[in-house]
Every structure is written in C-alpha cells, then in structure tokens.
C-alpha cells in the first residue's frame, strides 16, 4: 500500500499531544516548539491533546504544570486541551469496528514472554510479535482467560501481501517503506488492563479532530506505519508527517530524558527567569537562529524552515552542559 507524499493540505490543522508523565523537559519543549512553529507559520489551527490514557501514570498536578509551562513558553492553541481519558467511548466504537472485521484476537502473552532475548526486535526496540496467540483454539483461549486478562492484537497482513507494505513520506526523514509483518507483527490495540493502546487512540483522535499535520519526536517514526495501517482499515485520511530529530545528552550517547534533571522545566524556569532566554539558546543550538540572544516563540516564526530541522536528521542534537549554565 502506498501513501503518496503530500504537500500541506490547507487549512492546516496540527496538534501537540504530550503525555503528562511529570514536568516538561527540554526535549518536550523542542518538539512543542517545532509543532507550534509548523502550524503558526502557515496560519493553521493547533489542537492541544493531553495523552493521559493511563490515568494511573499521570502524576497529580502534572497536567496543570504542563499547561502553565506551555503558556510560559509563549505557545498558544486554538482547541483543547482535549483529554484522551475522557474519550474511551469513542475508542471503544472504533475498536469494535476492527473486531467486527475479524482482524483481532486476544493475546495472553506477558511482558516477560515477549522480551525473551532471542526474539527479533523492531527498530523502536519493541519485540516483533511472532503470532504466539494468533491461532489458539477456543478452548485454549478459555483456559488461558482463567489465568490472565488478555490484550487485543490487530493482525497485520502476511509479508507477501502488499497491503502490509506501508510507504509514506516524512518531511524530515524522507520516504519510508515498512513491512508491518517484519517490523512489528500483530500489534496491540488494547492492553491487558483494558486501556486502549496508544496506536489506536492517537489514530482515531487525529482523524476525528481533523488533524492533517503531525509533528512529533522521531522516536515515534516507527509507529507511523502502524497508524497508517489503522487509517487504511478505518478509512481515515493519512496526515502530513514530520518527525523531529531528538535532543541528546551532551556526549550524544543517549536521548535527553528525565535523567538529566537540569533539562527539566522545574529547574530551568527559575534558572533562566525568562522564556526568551531558554528559547534563544534552544534556537541557536538547533540552528533556527545564528546567535543565542533571547527570542520569543513568535519571533522565531520568521525564517522557520524544515531545511534547518532536516539538517539534524541523521545525528540528533547533543545539548552541551553549558546550555544550562547562566
């Protein structure tokens, strides 16, 4: 199946879809900045969607802190915040459609079953699902169900079926071709705890919210083919995609994460005092500007170009320790 590379569809509708798992860190700020610039530079509409599917993992106060951080940074949005935790009925309806298509089956595998070291892994590090539970008999399913609640997997076409060969174009990473059966295998659309999986929720949300421009971190590039497959099954349009290169730790060895406490906005806001100082440094680091002087998000609109973002596609962007020194 081929998804033709598309230009912008207008009017543009983009989204920023953070998971509220704690305070925002510099990596989130970077993705939010590019998503905001991408929409605002072409006069589009921006939806803010809070991806709190797993409410037990949403620390108290994290949504409020995130909204406050986004506002402090100078980002605005036109719709939302929309909370995924309030949309379970909607996901259920589309989940039921996939079940009715006879394309799903219950999976009783535990995390430990899947992470056996010899199992082949997809490029995002998740194990390739080899279909262990695909052909269980009704009796085997009933027996296993006494021990464990199953998740639900969506079957992907066999390797020889062109429907499972997903081709798409990413504005930063170019044309990609992925065979679902080789890349991930049958994947979860509902977890064993009953929570709808990210792949289903995000695909349904983007379609129903009219999102035609998806800008997000390149850690989600491997999810794209799965989401396009769901779009194909549910007859949704495929949005325009741009995956943003990651910010890395200073030695480039790993992605900047919560481990780097200095990259947390709870630390950086009092340190820098003004959002313009943080954004100026970030814009200089990433090549959006050629000097580190303070700048507002709005001032960065002029001259925003995907070529700048593309320049980092291969290597990512190491953040030197001096970034956090004032």
Note the residues at the interface with ligand GLU (CB under 6 A).
Answer: 17-19, 51, 202, 216, 220
Query: At its nearest, how many Å lie between ligand GLU and the CB of residue 249?
Result: 18
Please check whether residue 227 is in contact with residue 183, taking contact to mean a CB–CB distance below 8 angstroms. no
Is the Cβ of residue 202 or residue 278 nearer to ligand GLU in the bound state?
Answer: 202
DSSP 124-172: TSPBPB--TTTT--HHHHHHHHHH---EEEE----TT-GGGEEEEEETT
Query: At its nearest, how many Å lie between ligand GLU and the CB of residue 153?
Result: 20
Query: At its nearest, how many Å lie between ligand GLU and the CB of residue 216?
Result: 3
187-190, strands of its sheet edge to edge: 104-107, 151-154, 187-190
Please give the DSSP secondary-structure letter assigned to residue 322: G
Is the Cβ of residue 21 or residue 250 nearer to ligand GLU in the bound state?
Answer: 21
Is the Cβ of residue 78 or residue 321 nearer to ligand GLU in the bound state?
Answer: 78
Query: At its nearest, how many Å lie between ligand GLU and the CB of residue 127?
Result: 20
| Helices (H) then strands (E): counts for the chain | 11, 12
Nearest one of 89, 103, 110, 59 to 230, comparing CA atoms: 103
Is the Cβ of residue 124 or residue 293 nearer to ligand GLU in the bound state?
Answer: 124
Both tokens of 98, joined, read: 């996939």
Please give the DSSP secondary-structure letter assigned to residue 90: H
Distance CA 12, CA 207 (A): 13
Please give the DSSP secondary-structure letter assigned to residue 236: P
Query: At its nearest, how many Å lie between ligand GLU and the CB of residue 202?
Result: 5
Query: At its nearest, how many Å lie between ligand GLU and the CB of residue 18?
Result: 5
Is the Cβ of residue 62 or residue 286 nearer to ligand GLU in the bound state?
Answer: 62
Is the Cβ of residue 51 or residue 170 nearer to ligand GLU in the bound state?
Answer: 51
Is the Cβ of residue 190 or residue 216 nearer to ligand GLU in the bound state?
Answer: 216
Q: Residue 112 is inside which H or E element, if any?
A: helix 111-114
Is the Cβ of residue 82 or residue 136 nearer to ligand GLU in the bound state?
Answer: 82
The total number of residues shown for the chain amounts to 326
Query: At its nearest, how many Å lie between ligand GLU and the CB of residue 214?
Result: 7
Cα-Cα-Cα-Cα torsion 237, 242, 243, 244, nearest 10 degrees, comes to: -150
Distance CA 194, CA 303 (A): 46
Query: At its nearest, how many Å lie between ligand GLU and the CB of residue 145?
Result: 31
CA torsion sign for 5, 7, 11, 13 is positive
Query: At its nearest, how many Å lie between ligand GLU and the CB of residue 53?
Result: 9
Is the Cβ of residue 178 or residue 276 nearer to ligand GLU in the bound state?
Answer: 178
Distance CA 129, CA 137 (A): 19
């Amino acid at each position: 199946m081929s998804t033709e590379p598309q230009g912008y569809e207008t009017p543009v509708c983009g989204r920023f879809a953070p998971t509220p798992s704690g305070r925002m860190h510099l990596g989130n700020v970077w993705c939010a900045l590019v998503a905001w610039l991408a929409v605002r530079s072409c006069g589009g509409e921006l939806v803010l969607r809070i991806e709190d599917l797993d409410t037990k993992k949403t620390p108290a106060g994290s949504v409020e802190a995130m909204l406050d951080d986004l506002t402090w940074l100078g980002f605005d949005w036109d719709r939302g915040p929309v909370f995924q935790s309030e949309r379970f009925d909607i996901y259920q309806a589309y989940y039921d459609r996939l079940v009715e298509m006879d394309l799903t089956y219950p999976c009783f595998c535990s995390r430990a079953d899947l992470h056996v070291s010899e199992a082949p892994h997809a490029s995002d590090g998740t194990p390739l699902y080899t279909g262990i539970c695909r052909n269980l008999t009704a009796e085997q399913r009933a027996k296993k169900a006494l021990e464990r609640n199953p998740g639900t997997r969506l079957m992907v076409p066999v390797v020889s079926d062109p429907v499972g060969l997903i081709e798409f174009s990413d504005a930063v990473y170019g044309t990609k071709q992925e065979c679902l059966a080789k890349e991930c295998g049958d994947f979860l659309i509902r977890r064993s705890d009953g929570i709808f999986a990210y792949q289903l929720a995000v695909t349904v949300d983007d379609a129903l919210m009219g999102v035609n421009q998806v800008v997000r971190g390149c850690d989600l590039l491997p999810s794209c083919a799965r989401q396009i497959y769901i779009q194909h099954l549910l007859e949704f349009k495929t949005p325009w995609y741009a995956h943003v290169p990651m910010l890395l730790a200073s030695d480039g060895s790993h992605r900047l994460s919560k481990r780097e406490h200095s990259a947390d906005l709870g630390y950086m806001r009092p340190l820098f005092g003004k959002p313009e100082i943080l954004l100026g440094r970030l814009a200089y680091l990433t090549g959006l500007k050629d000097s580190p002087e303070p700048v507002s998000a709005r001032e960065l609109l002029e001259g925003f170009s995907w070529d700048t973002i593309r320049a980092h596609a291969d290597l990512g962007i190491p953040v030197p320790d001096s970034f956090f020194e004032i």
